[in-house]
Structure 1
Amino acid sequence: MDPSTSSVRVEPPAHAPAGTGEGPRIGDLDALRGFALLGILVVNIAFFASGYPFHLVPDPSYDSWLDQVTRWLVELLFTMKFYLLFSFLFGYSFTLQIDSAVRRGVAFAPRFRRRLAGLFVLGVLHAVLLFHGDILTTYALLGLVLLAARGLRPRTASTLAGALLGLVALVIALAAVRGGGLVPDPTIAADAGARSTEALRGGLGSVLVEHLRAMPAMISALLVQGPLALCAFLVGLAAGRVRLLADVTPHRLLLRRVQWVGYPVGLAGALVFAVGGGTANLTGLVLSIVTAPLLMAAYVATALRAFHTGRGPRLAAVLAPAGRMALSNYLGQSVAGVLIFTGVGFGLVGRVAPLPTLLIAVAIYGGQLAFSAWWLARFRYGPVEWLLRSWTDARRVPLRR
């Protein structure tokens, strides 16, 4: 989206010349994706700043009331929320890609499978080289499920999402009742956190070994996160089928109702989740699984309503360029994290308190907003989007305007 425009609802993309069959971009969709980038970074940056969060224990070096409050607020407002928004938008965009393929007269499924293969390779490289908490590989695998489910009716897709969400919550609830836990011994977990922090403080070889060592645990974590992302995929598929974001004006009452329900219920669940110790506590985790989608829906409803107020289009115009190149920005956040915190760069891992770490995340995000607007004023795609598009199309697509 051109950041100088005054409308954000439906705009022609700068990268779709006449006759390509590309439809208009949905400005709200790009702006929401740009908004999601902030939440993702706020959560992920803690895993660059210290080795302790990976082992689900706080860094004992930072235990002041300010440190605790900062971590608590992140758990309350961000953790387990924003990846759901990214997943929802993935499912919604999937329906737009289907429509684009129809307009262009090309077979959708082979191209989408090729796209997923490219996304999977990017995810593997990301996980090994930059961030062991990568989500791209999961998206690539779940994308195959989404492809198989593309013929589902909106109501059926939503029902399946709800059933899957309930099943995941039930399994974890049973584990909680039986006394299970993700951190059986906090002392052992703290020792492992110290070793991880020291490894990340080393050079490239040490960082890569730490990423590889963490892979089994991350794969286990995805056994929960993956099904929840699939739920959001299916809800996004249903929303895309009815073009919910193409024009939100007729849905203003629905957005208000989502806020009325989502905030009290979602914040109540998030409060129990944060007070209980975040993902380390299975009881709080169950409540978060059930209520986080409602809180995220309330966030989305608030953002959409804000985009359509008097100054809302300006806000959306600031966010949308970052959303248009969200893949580049997601990977760029990891590059920044590696350079700032690990021994590959400045080596600040374990040396920055939670609040300054949060401020660093905000600074990185602000830089990405400015860079995205500058880049898209000159190029049709983000750099990684261009690479993935060229791979998907099996040709070198034009990059410069």
Structure 2
Amino acid sequence: MDVLRGFALLGILLVNVQMMAGPQVRPGGVLVASHPDQVVEWLVTALISAKFYLLFSFLFGYSFALQRASAERAGEPFAPRHLRRLICLFLLGLAHGVLLFSGDVLTVYAVLSLVLFALRDTPARTLLRAAAWLVVGTSVCLLAWGAVTVSFGEPLRPQDIASAVETNVAAYRGGPGSVVETHLRSLRTMLGWNIVYGADMLAAFLAGLVAGRRHLLADSGRYRAQMRRIVLWCLPIGLAGGVFMAICRNGPLDARWYDVGSAIGVLTAPLLSAVYVCGLLLLLRTGPGRRVGRALAPAGRMALTNYLGQSLVMALVFTGYGLAWYGRYGTTAVLAGCLFLYVAQLAVSRVLLRHVRYGPAEWLLRTATLARRP
């Protein structure tokens, strides 16, 4: 689990930074997008967007099963522990969303944890069936809205985009008060989308809960043949869905097709996420793969701290909290910086966990869960 979390941190970072860094602009709000930047953005959409938050969500559901088993072994009631945990998670997410990054998912996770708790004793087959319907339902809703937009919407004019960019540039390059005010507006705007995509996250929670009950990750070597088949059969479909989503979101189709692409992406992203998981688990069975696992595991063990740390660093770099570089650099340069940040997190996590057992955010969450110092 720690290795998978450490791997997922990179995908989350590469997606989130594009929101926090903003599109590159010249003075006057004229958008700048070099050909390399367009290619990089297209590839991130096709291969990463909508895949890694599903992996994190799956692991969240898996952890739920482990936490319940831990409470039972300790002879303590699970409900109070879980309630304290989700309250702490919600407050962390609220602070994260208001102060650092309006695209926060921790608050959504906390709310969906209530649903997960209510369904904790539901039979596995029912949970998997519900997960499938949630994914299909989310895709259908997006497809219906996208069809309306394509049929009746007007293509965005360059001046409309430039106006919105100018507003964001001024807000994020302003002082801390301007940044917080912008985050609050964004949180209200994103509420509806959190509800739509929350169903997709819940589906991954349910799949993770079933996997956690069966301890699939504890002895993944037993399922090597099945994992190879998953990679073989799911990779072409998942890639095709990712490519179609990139065509709709990043071109050559215009912005009216965004939600149509998202609908196909939601439907096929679980397949590509499964390919990534199975491919990594198979890799860990090899000599080089074990070295990769040793590099990723410490960062995954303190994944919450690293997730919040990524947002803190990006806020200091791109907003008025620090350097205010919002909109100053293209996607290629920004993602290169993210790779440096990610490698630094791997190194710092490894050093830190030689001296302490938990990262700071994990320690806080565990303290709230246990209602005592760990």
What range describes the TM-score normalised by the shorter chain of this pair? Answer: over 0.9
Distance 2:102 2:155 in 1: 23
Partner of 2:315: 338
CA contact (8 A) 1:261 1:294 kept: no
Distance 1:223 1:112 in 2: 22
Match among 218, 227, 234 for residue 190 of structure 2: 218
Distance 2:23 2:104 in 1: 16
Unaligned runs of 5+ in 2: none
What TM-score, normalized by structure 2, do the two folds share?
A: 0.93
Instruction: Encode CA deviations 1:21-78: one digit per residue, 9 max, x unaligned.
Output: xxxxxxxx1100000000000000111111689xxxxx95322211110110111111
For the residue of structure 2 that corresponds to 1:281, the secondary structure is helix
Match among 84, 88, 92 for residue 118 of structure 1: 88
The Cα shift of 1:193 comes to 2.5
Distance 2:150 2:161 in 1: 16
CA contact (8 A) 1:52 1:193 kept: no
Match among 61, 65, 73 for residue 35 of structure 2: 65
Distance 1:234 1:90 in 2: 9
Share of identical aligned residues, percent? 46
For the residue of structure 1 that corresponds to 2:328, the secondary structure is coil
Partner of 2:301: 324
CA distance 1:379–1:35, shift in 2 (3 Å)? same
Instruction: Encode CA deviations 1:287-325: one digit per residue, 9 max, x unaligned.
Output: 101101101110111100011112222111110111111
Partner of 1:41: 13
CA distance 1:307–1:396, shift in 2 (3 Å)? same
Structural mapping, 1:153-164, within 5 Å:
153-164=123-134
Distance 1:198 1:182 in 2: 32
Distance 1:314 1:162 in 2: 35
Distance 1:305 1:299 in 2: 10
Tell whether 2:136 aligns with 1:166.
yes
Q: How many residues align?
A: 364
The Cα shift of 1:202 comes to 1.1
The structure in which a higher percent of residues are helix is 2
Name the amino acid aligned to 1:253: A
Unaligned runs of 5+ in 1: 1-28, 54-58
Tell whether 2:368 aligns with 1:391.
yes
Dislocated runs of 4+, deviation >6 Å: none
Tell whether 2:348 aligns with 1:371.
yes
CA contact (8 A) 1:77 1:270 kept: yes
Match among 200, 217, 229 for residue 245 of structure 1: 217
Name the amino acid aligned to 2:189: A
The Cα shift of 1:184 comes to 5.8
Structural mapping, 1:167-316, within 5 Å:
167-179=137-149, 186-187=156-157, 188-277=160-249, 281-316=258-293
The Cα shift of 1:286 comes to 1.1
Match among 67, 90, 93 for residue 60 of structure 2: 90
Distance 1:340 1:77 in 2: 26
Partner of 1:133: 103
